[in-house]
């Protein structure tokens, strides 16, 4: 039996995280390590050699997702800790990197304590989470989960026309494992991440369990009016879609607020040529809706559609010509048992009692479709992320890493006890 309790080393964790940021760092202290560029390849190779030194067997799948597996007493799908090493072009040192390096620190802690598990424990590096070089985001994990095909994943191109497949081959990272949860399953997936928002920072809390991820829907909506002369068209004769649009913008915010969701209009334009002295012909805009639960999202969308229709109907000669859905991702609800293990570990390290719902998408959204999944957040300064000033204190990193270790160990014990019962 194992006697020693594994424990993470805060100083080593921080030093190793900063060490790994030498590849792709920018003079302003941030990171520019786009997926599968040369720096990303170097840090991946470094990660592989570190994991091998800790006794892990390392394999890559056809999307270049890396699986470093510490053997357990049983040959069953591993319990994994995963995140990503790629960054935004003007990214920080913690988004994704924290999650992978915490996994590595957990492997070290288990190794030092000679801690034995029934389940193998894996650390997974997911390819192209950011979607900054190759659109869309979470590419490696979504192909793994079967949400996108391998052909689709391989054929994504960057702005120079270079494909994912080309880059995987160039770096020797086109793995022999199928990029599929069916062929290469995990028993669970845990992810530590910076919050990337201001909730924990505002609350003065270091760590919190995450119960799920908001769903999101993107729409492209076109309002059709009638262009006319700016100087000769009195108000009563105008069919100005921009006036209708302005009313929609204000209404949308109120609707989102009253439904406990978020709405953003991040793109506005026109299909027609615009001119200073013309009333606009049409307005085309993108609407981004977010909500933490499925029925909430449905009600939010329904309210938007009703209110938009009502407002536009009151604008003489203007109509909604088109309402297209661009993306729809349902809210993710994490696994109750996995979340509970995170919760208890968070409380053990003095973290928050309140759970969070993630505002941003993560690889865990996709693993949650294939195995029990949960996340743990640590606060980041001013809630800022995807920016060189992104920062988490060494103390918060230490608390989050230790919480993740404890959660993984507790979850493994629970699941192993279940297996033992089946054996009896």
Contact residues: Zn ion, CB under 5 A? 95-96
DSSP letters, 226-287, are B-EETTT--GGG-B-HHHHHHHHHHHHHHHHHHTT-EEEEEEEE-SSPP-TTEE-SEEEEEE
CB of 86 to Zn ion, least distance (A): 9
Rank residues 96 and 372 by Cβ distance to Zn ion and give the closer one.
96
Closest approach of Zn ion to the CB of residue 100, in Å: 10
By beta-carbon proximity to Zn ion, the closer residue of 134 and 219 is: 134
Distance of CA 24 to the CA centre of its chain: 20
Min CB(376)–Zn ion separation in Å: 13
Nearer to Zn ion, 95 or 412 (CB): 95
Cβ(335)–Cβ(368) below 8 Å: yes
- The nearest distance, CB 390 to Zn ion, in angstroms, is 11
DSSP reduced 3-state for 378: strand
Judged by CB, which is closer to Zn ion: 95, or 396?
95
Tokens of 366: 């996709």
Whichever of 30 and 96 has its CB closer to Zn ion, that residue is 96
Rounded Cα gap, residues 103 and 400, in angstroms: 11
Distance of closest approach, residue 95 Cβ to Zn ion, in angstroms: 4
CB of 193 to Zn ion, least distance (A): 6
Tell me the residue length of the chain: 424
Torsion sign across C-alpha atoms 65, 71, 77, 81: negative
Alpha-carbon distances of 82 from 58, 79, 297, 412, rounded to whole Å:
14, 10, 28, 16
Nearest residue relative to Zn ion (C-beta): 96
Per the structure block, which two tokens stand in for 264? Answer: 């953003």
C-alpha closest to that of 403 among 199, 116, 115, 109: 109
* Cβ-based nearer residue to Zn ion, 224 or 332: 332
Least distance CB 97 / Zn ion (angstroms): 9
**Cβ nearer to Zn ion, comparing 147 with 251:** 147
């Amino acid at each position: 039996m194992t006697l020693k309790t594994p424990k993470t080393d805060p100083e080593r964790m921080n030093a190793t995280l900063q060490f790994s940021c030498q590849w792709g760092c920018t003079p302003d202290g941030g990171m520019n390590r786009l997926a599968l560029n040369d720096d990303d390849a170097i840090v991946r190779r470094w990660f592989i050699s570190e994991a091998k030194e800790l006794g892990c067997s390392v394999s890559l799948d056809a999307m270049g997702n890396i699986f470093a597996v510490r053997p357990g007493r049983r040959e069953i799908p591993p319990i994994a800790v995963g995140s990503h090493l790629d960054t935004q072009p003007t990214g920080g040192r913690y988004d994704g990197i924290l999650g992978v390096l915490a996994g590595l620190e957990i492997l070290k802690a288990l190794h030092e304590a000679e801690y034995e598990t029934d389940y193998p424990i894996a650390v997974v590096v997911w390819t192209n989470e950011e979607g900054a070089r190759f659109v869309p985001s979470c590419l490696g994990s979504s192909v793994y989960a079967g949400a996108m095909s391998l052909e689709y994943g391989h054929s994504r191109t960057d702005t120079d026309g270079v494909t994912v497949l080309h880059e995987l081959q160039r770096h020797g990272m086109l793995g022999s494992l199928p990029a599929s949860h069916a062929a290469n399953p995990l028993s669970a997936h845990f992810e530590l991440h910076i919050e990337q928002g201001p909730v924990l920072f505002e609350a003065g809390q270091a760590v919190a369990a995450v119960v799920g991820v908001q769903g999101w829907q993107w729409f492209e909506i076109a309002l059709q009016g009638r262009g006319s002369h700016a100087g000769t068209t009195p108000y009563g004769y105008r069919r100005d879609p921009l006036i209708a649009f302005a009313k929609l913008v204000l209404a949308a915010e109120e609707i989102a607020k009253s439904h406990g969701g978020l709405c953003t209009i991040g793109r506005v334009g026109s299909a027609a040529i615009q001119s200073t002295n013309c009333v606009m012909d049409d307005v085309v805009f993108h609407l981004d809706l977010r909500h933490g639960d499925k029925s909430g999202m449905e009600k939010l969308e329904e309210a938007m559609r009703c209110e938009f229709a009502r407002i536009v109907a009151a604008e003489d000669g203007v109509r909604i010509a088109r309402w297209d859905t661009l993306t729809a991702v349902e809210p993710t609800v994490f696994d109750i048992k996995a979340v509970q293990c995170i919760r208890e570990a968070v409380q053990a390290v003095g973290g928050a009692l309140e759970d969070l719902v993630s505002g941003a998408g993560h690889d865990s959204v996709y693993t949650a479709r294939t195995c029990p999944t949960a996340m743990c957040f640590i606060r980041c300064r001013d809630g800022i992320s995807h920016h060189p000033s992104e920062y988490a204190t060494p103390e918060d990193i230490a608390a989050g890493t230790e919480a993740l270790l404890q959660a993984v160990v507790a979850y493994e014990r629970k699941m192993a006890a279940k297996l033992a019962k089946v054996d009896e």
